[in-house]
């Protein structure tokens, strides 16, 4: 199973830890401004939790992976990212990046 982990600069970031293996990452730009960082990750443990850290308050939430949408393949997860970031004729760009980059 695969999941999409999202970080939004200035808002929050997801932190990869045990039970999840990052495979691919993409930066999303809207009219030249980076709006999000997406990581497609393999869920190695169904009980894994995803840590979400808010940027302004440093509040930490450990979200059980059972609440995340799951995909059968990396391609399925990528297609969902494309769907989420495409808005008609608006200027949007998905740029593949290193999985360690935020």
* 9-24 tens-digit pLDDT: 999 999 988 899 999 9
Which pLDDT score, from 0 to 100, does residue 18 have?
Answer: 87
Spacing of C-alpha 8 from chain mean position: 9
Sheet strands side by side (includes 12-15): 12-15, 49-54, 60-64
C-beta atoms surrounding 92 within 10 Å:
16
Average pLDDT over all residues of the chain: 93
Structure tokens at 97: 């990046």
53 band by pLDDT with thresholds 50, 70 and 90: very high
88 band by pLDDT with thresholds 50, 70 and 90: confident
39 band by pLDDT with thresholds 50, 70 and 90: very high
């Amino acid at each position: 199973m695969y999941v999409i982990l999202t970080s939004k600069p200035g808002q929050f970031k997801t932190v990869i830890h045990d039970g999840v293996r990052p495979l691919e990452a993409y930066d999303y730009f809207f009219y030249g401004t980076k709006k999000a960082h997406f990581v497609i990750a393999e869920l190695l443990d169904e009980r894994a939790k995803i840590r979400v850290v808010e940027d302004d308050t440093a509040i930490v939430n450990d979200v059980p992976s059972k609440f995340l949408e799951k995909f059968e393949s990396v391609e399925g997860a990528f297609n969902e990212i494309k769907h989420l970031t495409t808005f008609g004729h608006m200027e949007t760009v998905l740029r593949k990046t290193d999985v360690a980059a935020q």
